[in-house]
Amino acid sequence: MSPRMSPTPRPASRAGGGPRTAVPPGAPDPPGGTAAPAAAPRAKSAPRAGRRTEGAWGWLFVSPMVIILGLFLVLPILMALWVSLLHWDGQSNPFSGQTQFAGLDNYRALLTRNGLDRTLFATSLRNNFYYVLLTVPLQTILALTLALIVNQRMLRGRSALRTAFFFPSVTSSIAVSTVFLFLFQGSGAVNTVLSWIGVRGPNWFNDSRGVLSLLLGGLGIVDTGHPTGALADHSFMGLSWFEWLSGPSVAMCTIILLAVWTTSGTFMLIFLAALQDIPRELEEAAAIEGVSRFQMLRHVILPALRPVLFLVLTLGLIGTWQVFDQVYVMGQGAPGNTTLTPAFLSYSSAFDDADFGQGAAIAFILLTLILTMTAVQRFLFRERTPRTRRTR
């Protein structure tokens, strides 16, 4: 038998490429360790050419809408902004250099300079402020109430009720305003019904008295005919404090009723869609816990409706600051400019007084006001996440 040969250790190479001696099993690795396994090759990133092609296709698909928005939205806004810096009567080309450049003169006449222009603008802001203050909460509450009613699963005739509640929203605002003129005139149906219960109704569209001033005068707090003290001595933008705080006129209250009645149906559908999207299990779990209907509304339904509530309030805020058609049909500012609004004043300044520069300036001040109030509303309805405490 041939002698047994001991195995010869194979030479190994270091990571740097030099020879390495064999290491017996179980022995620790020498300094430097063994050669690390080769790293897996990195996945190649998408080529830049492909990304550029994808971006070009994206811009190609959205380009029709971008062009439409640019031609019919951005460009008219820029043109109107230029017109607001001119004294332009609408007879010549405002971009030919033949019109008189006014700079910020139109804005000064509305905001800082004493005169009829500032007084009328302040009056329109006061009227529209009370219009927004009353219309937006009333139409939101009414719309949510109607949505909760027609969302009941055991209610019969839900489809008919939804149609009846939504019908005023799809009716022409001009037609509805004309109907309200007949209902609220001196010998109209509203005063006839009030006479049945012994109440003598006012001449609604010819009454310029403020509702709040009538209330304070009836309580004997303020003499509405001759206000004294700080209410008469102090003023803002050409109107005394008493005029600012007198409240909406009786004529404006009829327009407020009209707006609430015609817009609640649309917002009811928005709330109804959101209510049907709330998980049924959430309501059943709350019912098992024994919560009341008010607690269900406060702690379950309203938190789930927060985004929709923000949408409804934003749409209502924008729509009420832009009110025009009801004012045009029902009063055109009468009586005593108590139904005058900035939108109608802009139209009247441009087309009745041939002062398109001031009309455009009113429109841009109104735009700034709407954007500011929308931003404030966005801040108030933002999602508040709890802050996490830092651990040391």
Instruction: State phi, psi for 49 to the nearest 5 degrees.
Output: -60, -40
pTM of the model: 0.81
CA distance 257 to 341: 16
CA distance 125 to 321: 9
132: nearest Cα among 263, 22, 33 = 263
Coil, strand or helix at 37:
coil
Task: Output the pLDDT for position 158.
Answer: 84
CA distance 300 to 44: 50
CB 364 within 8 A of CB 84: yes
**Ranges of H-type helices in 70-185:** 75-83, 105-111, 116-150, 158-170, 173-183
CB 94 within 8 A of CB 86: yes
pLDDT of the chain, 392 residues: tens digit per residue: 444 444 444 444 444 444 444 445 555 555 544 454 555 555 555 567 777 888 888 889 999 999 999 899 999 999 999 999 999 998 888 888 788 999 999 999 999 999 999 999 999 999 999 999 999 999 999 999 999 999 887 788 888 888 899 999 898 989 999 999 999 988 889 999 999 999 888 889 888 989 998 888 888 888 787 787 788 888 889 899 999 999 999 999 999 999 999 999 999 999 999 998 888 888 788 888 888 888 888 888 898 899 999 999 999 999 999 999 999 998 899 898 999 999 999 999 999 999 999 999 999 999 999 999 999 988 888 776 655 555 55
CA distance 77 to 261: 32
The tokens for 119 are 């007084």
CA distance 291 to 296: 6
CB 162 within 8 A of CB 150: yes
CB 209 within 8 A of CB 224: yes
Which tens digits make up the pLDDT trace of 157-187?
888 888 899 999 898 989 999 999 999 988 8
- Encoded amino acid at 213, one letter: S
CA distance 222 to 330: 30
Domains of the chain, first to last? 120-210+247-380 (1.10.3720.10)
Instruction: State phi, psi for 197 to the nearest 5 degrees.
Output: -105, 15
CB 335 within 8 A of CB 208: yes
CA distance 211 to 247: 6
CB 321 within 8 A of CB 342: yes
Which tens digits make up the pLDDT trace of 67-114?
999 899 999 999 999 999 999 998 888 888 788 999 999 999 999 999
CA distance 362 to 346: 6
